[in-house]
Structure 1
Amino acid sequence: MPTEFGLLGDLQARVDGQPLDVGHVRQRCVLAALLVDVNQVVQVGQLINRVWGELAPAGAQATLYSYLSRLRTCLTLADDIQIIRQSGGYLLAADAASVDLHRFYQLAGLARATPDAGQALRIFEESLNLWRGDPLTPLDTPWANSLRTAWERDRVAVDRDRTDLALRHGQHAALAPYLMARVEDHPLDERLVGQLMLALSRSGLQAEALDQYDRLRWRLADSLGVDPTPELQRLHTDVLKGDTELREPAGAIAAGEATVPRQLPAPPPYFAGRARELAELTRVLSVRDGADQTVAMCAVGGPGGVGKTSLALRWAHDNLTSFPDGQLYVNLRGFDPAGPMAPEVALRGFLDGLRLPAASVPADLDARAALYRSLVAGRKMLILLDNAHGMEQVVPLLPGGPGCVVLITSRVRLGGLITNHGARWLGLDVLDGEEAHELLARLLSRGRTDAEADSLREIVRRCGGLPLALSIIAARAVMQPDLPLDAVTRELREEATRLDALNAGDLTADLRAVFAASQHRLAAAPNRLFLLLALAPGPEIGLAAAARLADLSPSRTRLLLQTLQDHHLVQQHRPERYRLHDLVRLYAADRAHRDQPPELLAAALRRLVEHYLDTARRAARVLDPQREPVVADPASTEETAEEFTGQDEALAWFAREHPMLLAAVEHTATQGLDQHTWQLAWTLETFLDYQGHWRDWAQTQRLALDAARRLHDPLRQAHAHRSLGLAGTQLGLLDDAYDNQRRALELFGELGDEGRQADIARGLGWICHQRGHWAEALDFNQQALTLYQHLDHRPGQAMALNNLGWLHVMLGEHRRALAFCTQAVAVHQEIGDTNAEAGAWDSLGFAHHHLGEYAQAVRCYERALELVRGFHEGFNEADILRHLAETRQAAGDPDGARGCLEAALSLLEQLDHPAVEQVRGDLDRLGEAP
C-alpha cells in the first residue's frame, strides 16, 4: 500500500489513497518533525523543541515517547513506513518522494537541470502544484512557523525560475496578467517587477512596462531610500529602446554549464615533518572505484595550533591530479569569536563555486544540500571542510556518493562521522624535537639558526612542539632581526611571560586567542574542570584524583574529561591518566585565577592534596606494616579511596603517582599547609628509600623540617632530622647526615622517646661505619641494642644485631660476627620481616667470606638476593650483588663475578647512584686480572 504525506498545506497522511488518522495536533506535530528530516535521525531534544518549543512541559520526554508509540500504531497499515529508535533519537524510514515537501525540492532541482524547456516547464508546474496552502497547517510552534517562512521563500524562488523559463520561450502574453497580480502582493520584489516589465514590453505594452519601473523606483526610494538594481536599470533602458527580445530578466537561471572550481587556498609556505600523517592520508583517501559506493572521508583532529590546516592543504596540493573535476574549500570558522559558519552559508559558497546562478540557490538548507549533492554526483572532486565545529556543520556538506573525497579538520572529535558515515580518523599530535627544529630552520635563515643553535633548541623545548607557537616565535624573530633569540628564550623560561612571548600581533597568531576559542565552546561543567586541572600539581592526573579535585563522582568526571578530550584540551595518554600540553596548562591556569573565586580554587586543591595524602597513607602502611605512625591517621571520608591488597599494588601506585606527590609537597609548602606538607613527606619516606629516590627524599624532608619548625612541633622536627640523616647517608653526604642524626637524637632524648633514640643511634652507627670509624659505630649500635632490649623491641634488636655482626667483621672479629648475624637472621625470621632478613643474610655471607668460607658465603648472598628481589629494592640488591661478585672472584669464578657486577651496575645506573663509577672501576679491574 503506497503511503503519501502532505506537509505543504494542512498535514495529511494517506495510505492507498485513503486518509489516515494520525492523532491530535501535538501528535501530528511529532510526525511532521520526523517527516521534515525523513530517513535521518532526529535527536530527542530536537523533537521536543520542534513540538513544544520553550513551552515544553516537565514530562515532555515521556509524553513524546507515548506519541511515538501511538504513531507507530497508526502507521501499521503502511507497509513502507517505519519509525526506528536509534542512538539519541528517532528516524522515520520512508521514500522521500512520498513526502510532498521533499518531492517539491526534488522536482524543482530536476526542472532547473533539465535542458528541454517544455519538459522543464511541466516539471516546474508539477512541483508548484504540490502546494495546497500554508504549510504545516494547523501546527503553531516556533519551529513550524520558521519552516513555514523558509519554505514559502523557496516556493517563490521556484515560481520565479519557472517564470524566467516561460518568458524565454515566448509565454509573455499568458504570463502578464498573472505577474500583475503577483506584483500587487510583492510590490518591492525587483525580480518579479523585471519579469512583468519583460512580459508587458514583449506584449507591446511598453508604456505600462515603463510605468511599472517608475512605481517600483518610487516605492524603493520611499521605503528603503535606494534605487533599483543596475540590472533592472539596464532593462529599463532596453524597454525605452524597444530592445527586450534577448534580454534575460534579473536573476535568470543559466543552463548550468559545467565548471571546475579551484577553491583551495595556497599551500603552506613552510612545512616540516608529518611524513607518516601524509602517507596515512594518501592511504585512506585514495579515490575509490565505481564498485565502492561509500565516500572516501577522513577527519584530522587535534588541538588549536597543532597544524591541522597546514597538513590538509599540503596533502591537497600534493594530490591535485587526483581531482580533475576541481576542489571545494570552506573555512567553517568553528572556533571564531563571532561563532561558527552556518552550513547553508557554506553551501552557498560551494554552489557559487559550481557557478550556479544566485537566483537558482534555494533558501532552505535541505534544498541547498540536495542541489549541491546533485551537482557533485559522479565527479572526482576534493571537498576540504576546514575548522569544523561539529556534526551539524559537516553533514549537510557531505556528497551523496562515490567519486568525491572529503577531508575535514576540527579541534573536536567528530565521532558521528566515523559511526554514521564511515569516516577515518587521524589524530594530530605536536611535532617531535627533530621536526620542530626543522620547521624553525625553514622559517628562519640558515645563518641565524646555525649561529644561535642553543637558543633554537631551547625554543623548541619551551614551545612543546606546537607548530603555531614555533611559527609565532619565528615571526617575531623575522620582524625583529636585531632581537637575539636568547632574548626570546628568556621570556619563554618564565611562566609568567611565556604566553606573552607567543603573540605575533593578531588573533590568528596569538596563542592565548587560539586556546580561548577552544575554551569558549565548553559548557560550564567541563570548563570548570579544565581550569581546575591546570592548577593540579604534577605533570598528569589520574581519574580518581581528578574526581576529588572537581568534587564529583568518577563516572561524572570521566564524562567531562571525555568532553575535554573531544575538544583536544586534555589528552588521555594512558588508561585513566590525563595531561595538558604545557602551553595549554599555562593558559588555563591564568584563566582559572582570573575567572574563578580564590576560595573555590583553594578548596579544590585542598581536596586533591587530601586525596593524595589519604591514599599515600594506605599505600605506605602496606609497604611497611611495622612502621609506627607519628600521628594517628584520620578516618578517610573519601568513598572512592583506593585499597591495596599487597606490596606490589602499593608500589605500583607510588610509582605512578610519584611526580604528582612530590609536586603536592611543593604546593602545600608554598601555600602554608604545614600539616599536609609534613604528613605527605612522611608517607613518601618508605617508597623513596626503597626505590632509591634519595634526592627526592632529602628535598621533601627539608620542606617537612621547615613546616615542623613553623608548627613549633619538636616531635615532627626530630623525625625530619632523622629522615634527612638517613637520606644524606644514602647520598653519601655523611657530614650533613651525621649532624641531622645527632640533632634528632637530642630531640628524641628531650622527648623521652627511647625507641626512636635507639633508631637514631643505629643510624649514627651506620654513618660512622661509612666514615670508617668502626669503634664509634660499634658503640652506637651497642647503645641501640641496649635500648631495644629494654623496650623488648624485637625488630630493632634484629637490626642492631645485624649491624654489630657487620662491624665485628670490619674489626676482624669474624667468629663473633657470625654469632651476631646468626642471631639477627633468627629474630628476623621470627617476626617475619623478610626485607630486613635479607640484610642479615648479606652480613652473614660477609662474615663467611672473610673467614674464607666461600661456599657458605655464596649461599647466604643468594638467599639475601632471593628475599630482596621480592621487595624490588634496587640499591640493596646492587649492594648484595657486589658482595657476591667479590666472593665469586675470590673463589676463582671471574665470569660469575663479572655477571654480578654488570647486574649491579645496571641497577645503580637506573638509580643514578654515586656508586656507579666505583662499580665500573671494579669491572675494569676485573678485566685486567690475569
Structure 2
Amino acid sequence: MEGLRFRVLGPTEVRHDGSVLALPAKRLRVLLTELLINANRVVPPGQLIQASWAGEPPAGPERALHTSVSRLRAALGPVGDLIRTVPGGYLIELEPDQLDLAKFRALVERAGAADDPRQQAHLLGEALDLWQDVPLTGLGTESLEGRPWLIEERLQAIERLVDARLAIGDHSAVVAELTGLTREHPLRERFWSQLMLALYRGGRQADALAAYRRLAALLAEELGVDPGTEVRQLHQAILTGDVPTQTPATDPIEEPADNWARHAQLPMDLSDFVGRSEVITEITERLSETSAMPVVTISGAPGVGKSALAVHLGHRLRGRFPDGQWHVRLAGAGNSPREPLEVLGELLSLAGVDPHDLPADLDRRAALLRSTLADRRVLLLLDDARDARQVKPLLPGTAGNAVLVTSRNELAGLSVSVGARGTRLTMLDPAEALDLLAGMLGAERVAAEPSAAAELAEVCDRLPLALRIAAGLLSGRPDQSIAGYVEELRAGDRLAGLAIGDEPDTAVAATFALSYEALQPQARRLFALLGVVPGGDLSVPGAAALFDGSPREVGPLLETLAAGNLLQRERSRYRMHDLIRLYAAGRAEVEPGADAAWQRLIDWYLRTTDAATDFEYSPLVRLTERVFDENPFTDAAQAGAWLEAEEQNLVACVSKAADSGPYGVAWRLADVLRHYFSINDRVGPWRQAATAGLRAARAAGDRDGEGAMRHSLGALAFTVGEVEVAITESAAACEAYAEAGFGLGEAALLCNLGMAYDDHGESVQAAEFLMRGIRAFRALGRIGSLWPALHSLSNVSHNLGDLDAAVAAASEALEIAPDGYAGVVGLLNRGAAYRLLGQWDRAEADMTTALAMEERPSAPGQYETALLYADLGRYDEAMAHAEAGVTISHRDGLEFHEASALNVLGIIRGRQGRWDEAARHHAEARDIAVRLGHRAREAEALLGLAAVALARKELAEAFDLGQQARELAGQLRQRIVECRALLLLAEAGRQAGRADDAERWAAEAATIQAGTGYRPPVAVNR
C-alpha cells in the first residue's frame, strides 16, 4: 500500500499518505505495537492480552481482545484491514519498507554481508538514523522494560558501526562518541574495548590504559568481577605494543536454548548512595549462599533507606543472578497492600506463563512459581511488605534463587517459618552521614565547614531522609553557611523534634516541619494544601486547581518543593513520599482555605473527567449532566492517556469525597467514569468507585445518586457474570430512576433487567421487563437505542415459543443496527427462529451470513449452526460446529454457553445412534446447569437424557426424565422444549402400550405446534 509507514523506533506512529493516523487510546497503541514488532508473524491471543493488560487481564480476556482489535481496525481506517484474524491469533503483513524496525534490520543485515568497511559504516549509519527516539514510548515504562532485545539490537549495531569506523582509520572522531557511550552504558565492556583501541590508535596509549583502569574499578565496585577476556587481552596488547591492526569482531550473543526471558526490573540505583558497607557485606554473603535459597529481610524506621539499600544491593549482585532481577512493590505501608494471589500472577507472567494457564487459587499459583523457578538463578526483590503472610506464597523453593524483602515491620514470622535472616537498619554512622552531605552539597562546601557539617548530621540524627531534606534546603541557599543553617535548626527548641529515639514517625515529622518552615509563603501554602490530595501523585493543572492559581504560577512552586526533596518529580507529575504526605495532611488541617481547596480540586477532576470521557466513553444513558464548558483535550488519544494516568487518583477522590464530602461530586464522578471502566474492563477500580459513590449518595439521602450508583453496580455485576446481583442492583436503580423522573434511565434499566433475567433462564420475567423497556424507549423517541433490547427480546420470544415475534424482533434490530456485532446477533437470533419454524433455507442463509460476518467465532453462532445442520441431516458439519462451540465456551469461561453446546453435541450423537456419547454430553450439561441454577438448560439436558433412555428401551427412566423435562419447561413457559418433551412421552407411551396417554400427549404437543408454528425436524419423529 503506497504512502503507508509504521514507526516503533520512537513513539509508535502510523502515517498514511503523509498524515498521522490518531490512535485514541493507549491500549490500542500497545496492541498495534505488539503486532508491529511481530510483523508478518502470527501473534497468539495470549501474547496480545499480556501486552495489552500488563499482566492484569480483564474478565473474558479473549472477548476484550476481540473488541480492542476491532477498535484498532476502526481507528486505522483505510489501512485497518491489514490486521487479519487467522488460525492461531492475529497477523499484520507489511512490506519491509513500511516498518522502520524491518528496514533497520534489513540495513544491518546488508552491512553484515558487505566487505568494504566504508559501505558497512554507511549502511549502519543509515540504519541507526531510523532511531528517532526511545522506542515504544507512550506505552508506559513497562513496555520498553519488556523489550530489552530491542535496545540490544541498537547497541549491537552501534558496536558494528564503531568497528567499521575504526577499520577505516576514523580513530580520533569516535573517541568522543565512545566516551559518551561508556558513560551511558558503563557495564558494557565492548564499548570500553573500542574506546581503548581508538585511544591507542590515536596515539594516546596512556589514556587507553587509564580507560582500562576505570573499567576494572567500576566492575569490581558494581559486580565484584574482573574485566572479560577480550578486554584483558587488549589491555595486555596495549602494554606490549602488540595491538592487532584489525578491530576484534563482536561475538554473537547466544540466546538461551529454552527461550527464557531475562527481566532486569531493578529501579535506578542512587548515584550518591553512601555507607552501609558492613550491612552490604553481610547481606551480600547471605544472598550468595548456594546450599539453600537465602531469604533476607531489611526492616527499619520509615525514611531509614530500606528500599534504597535493597536496590543498591540488587545492582551489585546482578552478575550472580543471570536469569533476571525481579522487583515487586507490595504496597504494605498503605491502606491497600497487594494480595499474594495478584502478585503471583505478575511473577508467573514474568516467568512466561500464559495468563490463561494461571491457576485460580493461591496454593497452586505458589506451587507453579516454585516449579517454574526451579534450577533458575533469579533475584526477587519484594519491596515494602506488610507481613509474613503477604510474602510467604511468593518465595521460590530452590537454591540458586534469592529473595530480598524490605518492610517497616520486622517480619519475624519469616525467620521462624522459612529461616529468613533479618537485618534492621539504624541511622547512618557519623562518617556515612558526612559522605551523604558531601554528595548532595558538594565536597568543597562540606570541607570548608567540617565541624558545622558534622553538627548538622547530628542535628538530623543521621536519618537519611532528614539529611536529604536538610541538604536539599541548603542547596537552594548557596550563600548561606552550614553553621548558620545549623543555628536555624537549633532555634525554637527544634532539637527535640530531630531526636528520633523510639519514635521515628515523630522525628521524621519534625524534620519535615523544618523543611516546611524554610519555604517561602506561597510554596508553604501549596505544600500544606497538597495534604488534602488523596491520590498518589498530581499534575501541574491539578495543583493549579488546588491552589486556585494558573499552571504558570504553580509550576515554579512545585519545582521549589521538588528541589527541597519534599516532592519527587516524575516527568510532568509530582509525587509525595508517604511520610511527607502524612506531615502535609497535618498541615492542611490548620491551613486556612484547605476545605475550599479540596472542593476546587474535586470539582476540577469532575469537569476534566467529563471532558475526557466525552470522546469515546460517553454512554447512551447517564444521569449526570455535562459539567464541562470547553474541552481541554485535543483528541481521544490525549484524553485516554489522561484518564489512564489519573485513574488511581480519580478513584481515591471518589472514596475521600464519599467519606467527608462533597457527596454529590463523589457519586457524579463515579457516574462519569462508569463507561470508561466498562469499556476497559477495569473491574477493580469500577467496583471501588461505584461502591464509594453509593455510600456518598446514601450519606446525602440522594435518591438520584443512589440510582446512578446502583445502575453502575448492576452493570458491573452483569459484566462479571454475577447475574443475581445484577438483577438486584438493576431493579433498585430502576426504582430510584423512576422516583427521580429520569425516564431514559428507567427505560434502560428495564431492558437491563430483561437481559439479566434472560441470562438467568427466566424467560417470562425477561419478556415482561424487555417489553416495558422497549415501550419506554419508543415513547421517548429513542429508537436507535433499541437494538440490544430487541436482540434479547428475540431470544426470549424464541424460548417462550413465540417464534413469529422472535423473527420480528430480530428483523427490527437488524434494521436499526445491521453491521458488526449487532448484525451478527440479529442474524443468529432470526436464523434460530426460522429453524424452529421449519424454514430451513432462510435459517441457513441467516446463519451462513452471520458466521461470515463474525471476526471471531462465538459459541452461540457455532452451536446454533450445529443444530441447523443436525436438523438437515448434515451430521459431520453439525459435529464440527458443536465441538467448536464447546471449545470456545470453555476457553472463554462461559459455562452456560458450554452447557448449551454440550446439549447440542448430545442431540447430534443421539441422532447418529451413538447413545453412550449422547448420554455423557447431556449429563455434563445437566451438571453445569444445576451448578449455575440455569433451569432452562437443565430442562434441555433432562430431555436429552430421556431420549437416550427411550432409545435403550429403558421406558420407566424415559417417562421419569421426560416428565421432569416437561414440568420444568412448563414452569419456565419454554413451550418448544415442552412440546419436544410431550412428543417424546407420546412415543414412549406407544412403545409401552399406553395408547390413551400417548394420544393425549401427542394432542397436547399438536396444540403447542399449532400455537407456535414449531415444526420438528424429521429426525425427531423417527
TM-score relative to the length of structure 2? 0.39
Larger-Rg structure:
1
TM-score (normalizing by structure 1):
0.42
